[in-house]
Amino acid sequence: MIDKRKDIAREIGRRYCTLTPAGVETLASILVPFKVNKGERLMNEGDVCSFMYYVERGMVRQFYYKNGRDVTEHFSYEGRIVICIESFLKQEPSRLIVEALETSWVFGIPYEKLMSLIEVDKEMANLYRKILEHALISSQEHADSQRFENATERYVRLLKTKPEIVLRAPMVHVASFLQMTPETLSRVRASHID
């Protein structure tokens, strides 16, 4: 299992911030593997986000309930991190829920161990900063898309930047993520010519 954790640590380094061999060893030493079956939750509303999760295989989504509706906020799949950022940073209960859309294998980076490491290890501190930067930029890009683009533009952007979501996630969740009804998404998809 340690070899698998080293492979995952290398992958995280490739994606977010190149790690030295010592950095790979350090990160691998704290990774916690999880298997989450389709439909199961990694986090429920009210849980404290005590891990950031790297998705090795599968797809998960973050969502919340608003006025009785299920609203998808984010999708993560192979090579991506899922984190309920406010809950993780404050170590307070989250309003978000994380659910597996496919049977998924994820590796958790535990909050307590990571915080201890970033106090003494510059390389881990830099990795942490790069992961947070990536999460914040991704969140800002999504918010800007919702604010400034029409339904077709939002769909086309998603298709170009994250086609895995359109190919693998249920359309009801894709529509929610794009802040449109399933009927609107169906019309946009029908009228869009690749």
Place of tokens 């999708």: 75
Query: Which one of 2.60.40.1180, 2.60.120.10, 3.40.50.620, 3.40.50.12780 gives the CATH number of domain 2-121?
Result: 2.60.120.10
Rounded to two decimals, what is the model's pTM? 0.92
> What is d(CA 42, CA 101) in angstroms, rounded to the nearest whole number?
11
Is it the case that residue 194 has pLDDT exceeding 60?
A: no
Spell out the residues 6+ positions from residue 19 whose beta carbon is closer than 8 angstroms to its own: 9, 10, 12, 13, 27, 123, 127
Q: Whose structure tokens read 């604010």?
A: 147
Contact (Cβ atoms closer than 8 angstroms) between residue 88 and residue 47: no
Q: Give the residue extent of every domain in the chain.
A: 2-121
Instruction: State pLDDT tens for residues 147-179.
Output: 999 989 999 999 999 999 999 999 999 999 999
